[in-house]
Amino acid sequence: MTAREMQIAWEAWFDHADRDHELQSDEIFRYLNEAQDEVVQEMFAQFEQDQIITDDLRVLIEKDKDVNALYAGADSGIGSFVADYATLPIDLRYLISSRVEVKYNQAGLTFTLETKDQARTISSSSTTLVVVTRISQSDDIYRLLHDPFNKSIFSDPIGVVNDSRLIVFTESTFMAERFFLDYLRDPNQISLTGPVPSELPDNVHKVIVDRAIDRFLQRSSILIPNQTQG
């Protein structure tokens, strides 16, 4: 459906039910966008578990988003650990995976700048490597960082998502320089004037319209008639 067709579907339901919703166009799209957000959130919960839902959400996948690494400082680490971080994109809904470009050497890097929230630089020779970030749960990070068999190393760095940041823990032998993020983003808002009516597949549009109507009826304390009639 186009955005206009979604609005027409809304109007048609109320015409069929012989009810007057008394909403302007902008208010209808507010309900449609609230419903879209709710439906997508439910779909995100099953991403990569249900193949149909995974396919429906592919249009929202952003791949290899390039984000520069900034120095988080020792106080952002745990114990004596230091860390670098990526600021997560504002439209990120679900982080699928992350790769990080690290600079390392076995003798220990010589840093020329260690200012918090700025990019770090080094003056010694180093090797560059792009590796997968091993993302851990926050409640498990203490155990991993202090485990000599699981600790964060240049070839297998440990990361954790903290609010709007992906933090990677480092040590004297390596630092993070850039991140490459794969993630599911928020869908564009449904609008008559937007660049696209709805990015989601057509089979999801009816679900959104029905959910928007349900939300309006619940807020208006209107009993939902039997939608199977007619």
What does the pLDDT look like over 107-151, one tens digit per residue? Answer: 888 888 788 999 998 888 999 999 999 998 877 787 888 888 888
- Residues 57-75 have a mean pLDDT of 90
Q: What is the pLDDT of residue 83?
A: 92
Tokens 């959400």 found at: 57
* Residue 9 phi, psi dihedral angles, 5° rounding: -65, -40
- The yes-or-no verdict on residue 225 having pLDDT over 80 is no
Q: Average model confidence (pLDDT) for the chain?
A: 86
Residue by residue, DSSP assigns 77-124 as SSTT-EEEEEEPPTTEEEEEEEEEEEEE-TT---EEE--TTS--EE-S
Confidence of residue 228 (pLDDT cuts 50, 70, 90): very low
Confidence of residue 194 (pLDDT cuts 50, 70, 90): low
Q: CA 154 → CA 2, 26, 108, 133, distances in Å?
A: 49, 52, 11, 10
- Find the radius of gyration of the CA atoms of the chain: 24
Q: Which of 111, 83, 89, 104 lies closest to 173 in space, CA to CA?
A: 104
How far apart CA 149 and CA 147 sit, in angstroms, is: 5
Do residues 78 and 145 make contact, with C-beta atoms less than 8 angstroms apart? yes
